[in-house]
Amino acid sequence: KQEVTQIPAALSVPEGENLVLNCSFTDSAIYNLQWFRQDPGKGLTSLLLIQSSQREQTSGRLNASLDKSSGRSTLYIAASQPGDSATYLCAVNPPNFGNEKLTFGTGTRLTIIP
Amino acid sequence: GAGVSQTPSNKVTEKGKYVELRCDPISGHTALYWYRQSLGQGPEFLIYFQGTGAADDSGLPNDRFFAVRPEGSVSTLKIQRTERGDSAVYLCASSVDRNTEAFFGQGTRLTVV
């Protein structure tokens, strides 16, 4: 059974710093890996999707990398801002399945200190 | 609509009661998913619809849970004889198809007292 782990569970950094969030998964046979953002009382917002054949994806100040063989992904946030404060979740799905088989981690709660 | 809409936002019910949670997906999205998120956990899959049919309901925890999507748009998640352990945020998502980006609603926070 696929297990997704995110460490640390919570992280606080001063505004302007660059930071890295970590995600690891036990079964390297994945189809996609996605990073989501969740704000309190709100749903999930998809940030980046990396297909298993890709090594990284970039969107603005966000860069996500994928090392499938080692079962790891990182989300890099450059020049952090208070508005980046949220819980960040990663999720993977197995080959031949789509969004219906997403396995999520428990998330990293990020606080950017002004 | 502009996004996935879920109603109600919050629902408090007594143990043993029946509840219905509604999801309005993005227009034109044929795939619809229900996930459940307990406190401090990531979302867990419940059921997936492709059009009107439940393509995969393997995540439903027991037969007290049921979901429908009769016209291939709005979906309703139904929970009978609610238990305190059913308390969670129920998330709905939709996508053009199962392999494209999924858009999530804000969720319904269900509290069973």
* Mean pLDDT (chain A, rounded): 94
Q: Which of helix, strand or coil describes residue B84?
A: helix
Strands B88-95, B31-37: pairing is: antiparallel
Q: Closest Cα partner for B21 from B85, B76, B64?
A: B76
pLDDT tens column, B21-67: 999 999 999 999 999 999 889 999 999 999 999 999 999 999 999 99
Question: How close B100 comes to chain A (CA, Å)?
Answer: 8
Most confident of A52-56, A91-95, B15-19: B15-19
- Chain A contact present for B101, CB below 8 A: yes
Residues 36 through 95 of chain B touching chain A, CB cutoff 8 Å: 40-45, 48, 55-56, 91, 93, 95
Partner-chain residue, chosen from B6, B98, B107, that has the shortest CB–CB distance to A98: B98
Q: Say what the pLDDT of residue A33 is.
A: 93
What lies within 8 Å, CB to CB, of A54 at 6+ separation is A66
Task: Report yes or no: A49 at the B interface, CB cutoff 8 Å.
Answer: yes
pLDDT for residue A100 = 81
What would the pLDDT profile of A12-55 be if each residue is shown by its tens digit? 999 999 999 999 999 999 988 999 999 987 889 989 999 889 99
Across A16-25, A81-90, A92-101, B9-18, least confident range: A92-101
Is the per-residue pLDDT at B1 higher than 80? no
CA A4 to each of CA A7, B13, B74: distance values in angstroms, whole numbers, following the listed order? 10, 32, 31
Q: What is the pLDDT of residue B14?
A: 97
CA A39 to chain centre: 14
pLDDT tens by residue, B66-111: 999 999 999 999 999 999 999 999 999 999 988 888 899 999 999 9
CA distance, residue A19 to nearest chain B CA (Å): 22
- pLDDT at position A96 is 82
